[in-house]
Amino acid sequence: MTLRVQALESLLVEKGLVDPAALDAIIETYEHKVGPRNGARVVARAWSDPAYKTRLLAEPVAAIAELGFEGRQGEHMVVVENTPQVHNLVVCTLCSCYPWPLLGLPPVWYKSAPYRSRAVIDPRGVLAEFGTVVGEDVEVRVWDSTAEVRYLVLPERPAGTDGLSEDALADLVTRDAMIGVTRVNP
Amino acid sequence: MTLSDEPPFAEPWEAKAFALVVHLHGRGAFTWAEWAQALSGELKRPDAGSYYQCWLLALEHLTLERGVLDRPGLDERRDAWAQAYRNTPHGQPVQLT
């Protein structure tokens, strides 16, 4: 695989289609600069500031940009809110579409064929495998990401966190909760 | 709290394959919908390899299909790199001659 990538890269560079420095910058960004910490800050802000939450649900791209997060694969965002009545779960059945600016690159399981198919066929079963039991009275909504639209789950704020600062709240928020396979624990 | 429990790339070639696609897309070589379709085609194959193997094959496929590169040229260059690896003493940077 190394040789195949090198062959491709060196030919594309010679044709002037690829700038090696730009490749290094892209790798640096996704290895070190973007990750679920970004999404956690958005969630914590929404929990702390009702006006921000309203903006986040109505105009996600603009509200997310307020916190400085934008860029590739974040151009068309939809934020879906978990409530006591509704649990949201995100998948990409086609490939691995994912909100990079907020969550970084997807985990291995998100890209796997079993998750991509079973999240749609048996979402409650998938949730149970992640240790998330959703009551029969709760509606499970599955959102299939596409090349155009990416989803972020706004998890429920856990009970007993009223006194926490926004930073402390952000520390509670996990990547998996923002995909919707788990809840946020206090 | 497990915000980043796994590195995004297992090996350097995965990172390079990823970056090539993002960069070429940024330069308008293809739309993201076209890319998603190419990647999906590779992932669906019964003999599909790892995720980034599919990613690399999809990129090769797109560049060949669009006439950006041609198969003999790609194969020849891969052989040249293989030869360069064999000829380079340990500890030296590998370069095409």
Q: Does any domain span residue A19?
A: yes
* Interface contact A22-B23, CB threshold 8 A: yes
pLDDT value at residue A6: 92
* Total number of domains constituting chain A: 2
Same domain, A113 and A174: yes
Considering only CB atoms, A7 lies closest to which of B51, B68, B78, namely B78
**CB contact residues (below 8 A), chain A span 124-183, against chain B:** 146-148, 171-172, 174-176
- State how far the Cα of B24 lies from the Cα of B26, in Å rounded to an integer: 5
Same domain, A78 and A122: yes
Same domain, A41 and A21: no
Give bridge partners of residue A88 from the DSSP assignment.
A141
Q: What is the pLDDT of residues B29-51, one digit of tens each?
A: 999 999 999 999 999 998 988 99
Please tell me the distance in Å from A104's CA to the nearest CA on chain B: 8
Query: What's the CATH code of the domain at A82?
Result: 3.90.330.10
Question: For residue B62, which residues of chain A lie inside 8 Å, CB to CB?
Answer: none
Who's near A142: CB < 8 A, 6+ residues apart? A88, A89, A90, A91, A119, A120, A123
Q: Does any domain span residue A103?
A: yes
Q: Determine the structural domain holding residue A173 and report its residue range.
A: 36-179
Give the containing element (helix H, strand E) for A91. strand A86-91
Same domain, A103 and A21: no
Closest residue on chain A to B5 (Cα):
A107
Who's near B70: CB < 8 A, 6+ residues apart? B64
* Interface contact B4-A8, CB threshold 8 A: no
Q: Does any domain span residue A120?
A: yes
Same domain, A88 and A100: yes
- State how far the Cα of A105 lies from the Cα of A121, in Å rounded to an integer: 24
Which among A24, A43, A95, A174 is the top mutation candidate for probing chain B, defined by the most B β-carbons within 10 Å of its own β-carbon? A95
Amino acid at A20: P
Helices A2-14 & B51-65 angle (0-180, nearest 10): 30
* Interface contact B9-A4, CB threshold 8 A: no
Give bridge partners of residue A78 from the DSSP assignment.
A151
Q: Which residues of chain B have pLDDT under 70?
A: 1-5, 97
* Interface contact B24-A111, CB threshold 8 A: no
Considering only CB atoms, A17 lies closest to which of B29, B75, B85, namely B29
Same domain, A80 and A143: yes
Q: Does any domain span residue A184?
A: no
Give the SS3 label for residue A79.
Answer: strand
Same domain, A29 and A49: no
DSSP string, A50-75: HHHHHHHHHSHHHHHHHTT---TT-S
CB B24 within 8 A of CB A18: yes
pLDDT value at residue B84: 87
pLDDT value at residue B1: 33
Same domain, A23 and A40: no
Residue in the structure block whose two tokens are 């509200």: A63
Who's near B67: CB < 8 A, 6+ residues apart? none
Q: Does any domain span residue A185?
A: no
Same domain, A134 and A75: yes
**Grouped pLDDT means (10 residues each) for chain A, 186 residues:** 92 94 94 92 98 97 94 87 97 89 91 92 96 95 91 96 96 97 93
ipTM beyond cut 0.90: no
Same domain, A4 and A45: no
Q: Does any domain span residue A174?
A: yes
* Interface contact A174-B3, CB threshold 8 A: yes
